[in-house]
Structure 1
């Protein structure tokens, strides 16, 4: 796995932001003469492309001869920009730019936590490119349902009056900066209130001990998706990270299932 922090490549955006990424080319399946779809990993809120899931899936894809791309949203990891300036809409645009300019052919999107929301937005924007989806503790609409709806009146007041709320997190040394702009933009990106018009196969892996994204979110997402090929894998002892070896194996098993379904000649 690539845990030694190799130098990334950069995609320069028209707005001047540089998006850091790593891309591995795939190989033709010689026996069948088929080109399998590539895989794009979309990380979570304040996470980056060097995490356990991103690199584990990369190693798996390399072994399988699959093209694989991982990247950092603006304001995350090695990409340019400030985290506090980011929004769900901006990060979805980052993902779409990577799809358009770095990847080729059909793709399976793998979205972790917030990345599950981003993968849905990107898939809706590029239906012709997206062949399948794998969500890992996918968290669509989290700014509204898992943040704003659960904030106290004092927290809401601080966001509105001061423009941001600083919240500690157990997932890193830096606290979360939750801006009023993030909340407002999130309301323009909500998906679970209406049918999600994606018909590709979808696999959702969710820990039932997840303190951040309740497992019921995966059921809501299943109900909202119009696709008839949606499966949920609930891991009773799983937390939000889903980074234990057996849990990583569950993720790659479902990825392989999708790849097998959507491989094109």
Structure 2
């Protein structure tokens, strides 16, 4: 397993990443909200890529994992820029973007910015526009008022700590929405979604599928799979999807 490397990101934070050398296109794993590059899918796919002789990159956005910065200071736009900076510093040539949950949204943003380099896209329980269509849409008027007045609000989560949502996250999210216009992707696309996902609705997966303009796009629903999408069968499906979009 390769060692952790670091670069200075666009906001001055030290951003951590692990690059495994191999044949291209380089598979780039983009993790979710409050997740990091030590997650089950990231580590599993790194080991798989190494066995297959494929180039692989996993990374921590600022405020995540072992990268510098405070989580509560981050926004979608900043985290996308963090990922773009690491990709530009650590790779060259074609890319396969693999985005999990929020990483699916970030992957959509990077697909626009790095279109000339992208060879394929895999979304795993992708959560585009969740700050607006999930958080903001689900807030009561009182919660919205608290958020706008105090700049932050805490929401219960299925994990150890509550989700901290900031006003900056919501406002920046509105500048980076991807489901309000077509999403050109001139490469193969695979979207994977569990039927028992408690965080991302089926309607979100369908909306993303409908917005993507690709010559080869497929959306697969997996019976019983949850938001983690990390059991052996799901991990094999992710591997298969990466192979399919890699050309």
Report the TM range for the smaller structure's normalisation.
Answer: over 0.9
For 1:121, the equivalent position in structure 2 comes to 109
What is aligned with 1:253?
240
2:153 to 165, 169, 180: 165
The alpha-carbon deviation at position 7 of structure 1 amounts to 5.2
5 Å-filtered alignment, 1:46-61, equals 46-61=34-49
The answer to whether the aligner puts 1:135 opposite 2:160 as a matched pair is no
Deviation at 1:153, TM superposition (A): 1.5
Deviation readout 1:141-172 (Å, 9 max, x if unpaired): 0100011101111211111111001123223x
Give per-residue Cα distances to partners, 1:16-62, cap 9 Å, x unaligned.
211000000004xxxxxxxx311000000000100100011111111
TM-score, structure 1 normalization: 0.90
Give the SS at the match of 1:174.
Answer: coil
Q: Does structure 1 residue 217 correspond to structure 2 residue 213?
A: no
Computed over aligned residues only, the root mean square deviation of the Cα atoms, in angstroms, reads 1.2
1:154-208 deviations in whole A, cap 9, x for unaligned? 211111111001123223x232110000000000000111111221111000011
Cα deviation digits, residues 218-243 of structure 1 (max 9, x gap): 11111111113110110120110011
Matches within 5 A, 1:1-265: 8-27=4-23, 36-171=24-159, 173-259=160-246, 261=247
- 2:10·2:82 contact (CA, 8 Å) conserved in 1? no
Q: Deviation of residue 14 (structure 1)? A: 4.8
CA distance in 2, matches of 1:154, 1:52: 37
Stretches of structure 2 that go unaligned for 5 or more consecutive residues are none
C-alpha distance in 1 between matches for 2:171 and 2:220: 32
CA separation in 1, counterparts of 2:63 and 2:3?
17
CA contact (8 A) 2:182 2:212 kept: yes
Show CA shifts across 1:51-103 (max 9, x none).
10001111111111110000000000000000000000000001111121111
Q: Distance in 1 between matches of 2:223 and 2:140?
A: 30
Query: In structure 1, how many angstroms separate the alpha carbons of the residues matched to 2:119 and 2:240?
Result: 17
Alignment length (residue pairs): 247
Q: Secondary structure at the match of 1:160?
A: helix
Question: What is the TM-score of this pair, normalised by structure 2?
Answer: 0.97
Q: Would you tell me which structure has more strand in proportion to its own residues?
A: 2
CA–CA separation in structure 1 for the residues paired with 2:127 and 2:11:
27
Cα distance 1:170–1:105, how it changes in 2: closer, same or farther (>3 A)?
same
